[in-house]
Chains A and B, each alone.
Chain A
Amino acid sequence: KAGVTQTPRYLIKTRGQQVTLSCSPISGHRSVSWYQQTPGQGLQFLFEYFSETQRNKGNFPGRFSGRQFSNSRSEMNVSTLELGDSALYLCASSLNADRNYGYTFGSGTRLTVV
């Protein structure tokens, strides 16, 4: 079966712009989480969604937002981009709300802000 698909793979944006990243989870997975990964900060949790409801949110400013659709696909949006937003953004899906089977990760979207 298809894995977690993230689009686009690479993105270059200018400071002040906004960006939308997309994630299609594994078929049947209803839990989707987003992480930001940078060399200095490691994996930082952004959001977690289950059945279109945000269950958890990390410590990021309000410029970072997300949503999940009825087909479990998820998007995250970053408005007013800053240089520090340059990172690898990873989406991960899990079968159930407990995530006790672990996550399946996508390959990520590499965002560069110039």
Chain B
Amino acid sequence: AQSVTQPDIHITVSEGASLELRCNYSYGATPYLFWYVQSPGQGLQLLLKYFSGDTLVQGIKGFEAEFKRSQSSFNLRKPSVHWSDAAEYFCAVGPRSGTYKYIFGTGTRLKVLA
């Protein structure tokens, strides 16, 4: 079955510390991979996406993600977290063709300590 797993529901880090949010997927063939961020009361904003090629992709707001095919993972990282990064983060996968569904993970809520 197709699925996206974000094993950490909540993560707390101190401002300035590094961050890694985990994402694992099960989708058959390699899908397109995305990370989104959602601030309270708002819609989701696309942070970055992986299509092919270089497995380390750069996104907005200083985020990056690494695709590891052997582990079916697409973890999001940031070297130094800012208080404004506190939000909920969603990993998502989409099909490379056809009408298959776009699947979101359940989200990881990030809290940043001053």
Complex: how many Å from CA A87 to CA B112? 26
Q: Mark B2-44, 1 if CB is under 8 A from A, else 0.
A: 0000000000000000000000000000001010100001111
In the complex, whether A90 has a CB less than 8 A from a CB of chain B is yes
B interface residues (Cβ-Cβ under 8 A, vs A): 32, 34, 36, 41-46, 49, 51, 90, 94-97, 99-107
Give 13 pairs: A residue, B residue, CB < 8 Å, sorted on A.
A35-B104, A42-B106, A45-B101, A56-B100, A97-B99, A98-B95, A98-B97, A100-B32, A104-B46, A105-B36, A105-B45, A106-B43, A108-B41
A97 to chain B, nearest CB (A): 8
Complex: how many Å from CA A103 to CA B96? 14
CB neighbours of A103 from chain B (8 A): 36, 44, 46, 102
CB within 8 Å for A105 and B51 given contacts A42-B107, A98-B95, A99-B102: no
CB neighbours of A101 from chain B (8 A): 49
A92 to chain B, nearest CB (A): 8
CB neighbours of B41 from chain A (8 A): 107-108, 110
Q: Is the interface of B mostly helix, strand, loop or mixed?
A: loop
Complex: how many Å from CA A45 to CA B103? 8
A110 to chain B, nearest CB (A): 8
CB neighbours of B46 from chain A (8 A): 102-104
CB neighbours of B44 from chain A (8 A): 90, 92, 103, 105
CB neighbours of B45 from chain A (8 A): 105
Is the beta-carbon distance between B90 and A107 smaller than 8 angstroms? Answer: no
Is the beta-carbon distance between A107 and B104 smaller than 8 angstroms? Answer: no
Is the beta-carbon distance between B104 and A100 smaller than 8 angstroms? Answer: no
A40 to chain B, nearest CB (A): 10
Is the beta-carbon distance between B101 and A56 smaller than 8 angstroms? Answer: yes
B15 to chain A, nearest CB (A): 26
Is the beta-carbon distance between B96 and A98 smaller than 8 angstroms? Answer: yes
Complex: how many Å from CA A33 to CA B44? 13
